[in-house]
Amino acid sequence: MDASSETGYRKPLPEMEPEEKPFWESLRQHRMKIQHCEDCGKWCFLPRTMCPHCLSTKLEWKPVSGRGRIFATTTQHHPPSPAFAQDVPYNISLVELDEGVRMITNVIGCPVESIKIGMAVNVVYDDVTEDVTLAKFRPAGV
Ligand SMILES: [Zn+2]
């Protein structure tokens, strides 16, 4: 029996590549970390072994603010699988963190119609299983 069946979580879980482990562990600790390049000073996401800006391999995991803005957004009306049938309509957004990296996520905690590009959001941690925590976002100040 895997973790998802023990907790009743039925949606797909992320496939965790070795270079992504520190990211997922930081979410589990509710303190998101992203890779920061020690050579060019830029933040990098998705996790990788080499900086996409300057090709340095000196990437350090550092905590981020968890604050950002919605860069792009859409509403999912049709469940992509039966596991999502209870959730529609739900939001899918591309959030740009204050650090400049963008991540695909869900904005929760407000009506989907109220979610707009440019809206300020803060990370919230969704512990979906004992081992997996997902980063979702909520409108700032809500
Ligand atoms: Zn770099």
pLDDT digits (tens, 9 = 90+) for 103-120: 999 999 999 999 999 999
**pLDDT band at residue 49, thresholds of 50, 70 and 90?**
very high
Which residues lie at CB < 5 A from ion ligand 1?
A: 37, 39-40, 51, 53-54, 56
What confidence tens digit (pLDDT) does each residue in 112-141 have? 999 999 999 999 999 999 999 999 999 998
* C-alpha separations of 57 from 53, 125, 135, 142 in Å: 11, 29, 26, 39
What's the gap in Å between 96 CA and the centre of ligand 1? 19
How far apart CA 71 and CA 108 sit, in angstroms, is 16
Ligand 1 centroid to Cα of residue 54, in Å, is: 4
pLDDT band at residue 8, thresholds of 50, 70 and 90? confident
User: Strand, coil or helix: what is 92?
Assistant: strand
Identify the pLDDT of residue 7: 59
Domains of the chain: 17-64 (no CATH), 65-142 (2.40.50.840)
Please tell me the predicted confidence (pLDDT) of residue 30.
98
Q: pLDDT tens-digit profile of 9-44?
A: 889 999 899 999 999 999 999 999 999 999 999 999
Q: How far apart are CA 2 and CA 133, in angstroms?
A: 15
> pLDDT confidence of 6, banded at 50, 70, 90?
low
Is the backbone peptide bond immediately before 79 cis, with ω within 30 degrees of 0?
Answer: no
Distance 36 CA to ligand 1 centre (A): 8
* Structural Rg of the chain based on CA atoms: 16
Tens-digit pLDDT profile for residues 50-99: 999 999 999 999 999 999 999 999 999 999 999 999 999 999 999 999 99
